[in-house]
Amino acid sequence: MKFLCRSFNVFLPILFLSCNHARAVVNRPENATFPAIIIFGDSLFDTGNNNYIKTIAKANFPPYGKDFIGGIPTGRFSDGKIPSDLFAEELGIKTLLPPFLDPSLQDQDLLTGSVLSFPDQFELFKEYISKLNKIAGDEKSSAILRESLFLVDGGNDYTITYFGTPFRKFQYDVPSYTDLLVSYSSTFVQELYRLGGRRIGVFRLPPSGCFPLLRTLEGGLERNCFGKYNEIAQLFNGKLSAEIASLNERLSEARIVYIDIYTPLLDIILTPQKYGFKIADRGCCGTGMVEVSFLCKYACPDVQDYVFWDSVHQTEKAYRILVRRILDEYINYFT
């Protein structure tokens, strides 16, 4: 089973761009409007770029997408919509975000929203900026970047890599590895700022030690949460919070917000009944113990009862709860 952790670290960082408008769902302050939402993350946010790259981590086959529009599998790692879609939808920007690597996309689509996946995220982001300049002009392009909402994944795949690739443990102990991850995150945010981003949210690491896959691989016969992983996540989160506070002092025009995903997701996992779920220790897909991507062959009939769709990713129902809670709690900090 150890190969699973290594295999699914191939999920590449992805960037989501959306610039058209849909009906807003959350209550926003009047000045909390965003011409675009730009999200850097991993497979939790990919709307289908994995369809166009060489990777075993794909989700363009049933039962993925069983509750998506038309029941079509699109490359989204869930039964339906995922956070990238839901953040844009809740903010009234767009209902769905198409993948940038879709060969049918035109330059004009950049103004109505797309999703980018790439090995060198900033080089491709620069390419996006260049295309945006040609479409909208330099002045409007700069305004879009300045007023957009940037959301940055805290580095969940990197922490999984620490356990999935033994050489990392020989290179770093836990404190030094979390320092390294915080340094990566800080550099990332500073580069976003240099390229024009000003409203930047950075996610804490989630309690992935309680994800079904890690329960199975590391949780013993009773499949308990893998406490060591969650402890590392909390150590990283504390250091990240301090670094973000420092960046806000140094980057005078920025509004950098530390977003806690750890606490609400852990609460859903530990008390699922409170949120209308029945099962939180396994996924809906297959046995729910280890299945993800190509291992996912069939799904449960009652997905609404599950927090997790497969052994790593949540259901649309769980994602909606998380996205609305995040926006309700943090949207005012970006204004």
Enumerate the active-site residues. 43, 310, 313
Q: What letter would DSSP give residue 12?
A: P
Interatomic CA distance for residues 298 and 285, integer angstroms: 6
Contact predicate 94/21, CB 8 Å = yes
Contacts of 24 (CB under 8 A, 6+ apart): 90, 91, 92
Beta bridge partners of 99: 115
Kind plus residue range of the DSSP H or E element containing 77:
none
Q: Report angle CA 203, 187, 147 to the nearest 5 degrees.
A: 65
Interatomic CA distance for residues 173 and 178, integer angstroms: 9
Q: How far is CA 205 from the centre of its chain?
A: 10
Interatomic CA distance for residues 216 and 229, integer angstroms: 13
Q: Give the amino acid at 333.
A: Y
Neighbour-count burial of 30, counting CB atoms closer than 10 A to its CB (0-12 exposed, 13-18 middle, 19+ buried): exposed
Q: What letter would DSSP give residue 202?
A: E
Angle between helices 121-136 and 138-147 (to 10 degrees): 130
Contact predicate 323/39, CB 8 Å = no
Torsions phi, psi of 201, nearest 5?
-105, 135
Interatomic CA distance for residues 295 and 298, integer angstroms: 9
CA end-to-end span of the chain: 46
Q: What letter would DSSP give residue 304?
A: G
Contact predicate 214/164, CB 8 Å = no
